Amino acid sequence: MELHVLIVDDSPAMRNFIRRVLDLSGLEVGLCLEASNGEEALRVLEDHWVDAVLTDINMPEMDGEELLRQMSAHPVLRSIPVLVVSTDRTEARIQKMLTLGARGYVTKPFAPETLRDELVQSLGGGDGSN
C-alpha cells in the first residue's frame, strides 16, 4: 500500500523537510502533494484522492484552522485524517484543533519518528465521523 499525502505549509523549506522526513520514515509514500495555504489545499483535495493531510496552522489566505473547519463540513473530505504540524504548543490551541477534527498534533521542531508515529496513528483510527 502506498500512502498519498498532502503537505500544507506556507514555507517551501518546511514542506521540503516534511517530505524528506516521510521519504526516510520507512513508510511507502506514493503521491506527495503540496499546498501553501488552506485554499490551495482545498483545491488539491477536490481532485486528488489522498490518505492524509499534514497542515500548518498560521498561513496567509486561509489558515489551518479554517481548512479543518471546511474539511469537517465537507461530506467526502471530512473522512480524510488531518495531522496538524505547528510551532504553537499552547494547550488551548491544541485542544481547539483536535475539537475541529484533527486526528493528531505535532509541535515543531519535531523528531522524525514523532511525525511518522503520529501520522501512522492518525491513519489507523478508522473513521468515526460518519
Rg from Cα positions in the chain: 13
By the 8 A CB rule, do 41 and 53 touch?
yes
The secondary structure of 77-124 as a DSSP string is GGGS-EEEEES---HHHHHHHHHTT-SEEEESS--HHHHHHHHHHHHH
* Grid cell locating 3: 500512502
Q: How far is the CB of 123 from another protein (least distance, A)?
A: 9
- 27 vs 100, beta carbon nearer another protein: 27
Q: Among 97, 105, 100, 99, which Cα is nearest to 122's?
A: 105
Q: Which is nearer to another protein, 48 or 89 (CB)?
A: 48
| Residue number with CB closer to another protein (16 or 79) | 79
Q: Which is nearer to another protein, 52 or 59 (CB)?
A: 52
What does the binding site for another protein look like in residue numbers (CB under 8 A)? 1-4, 30, 47-49, 51, 75-76, 79, 124, 126-127, 130
| 46 Cβ contact partners less than 8 Å away, ≥ 6 residues apart | none
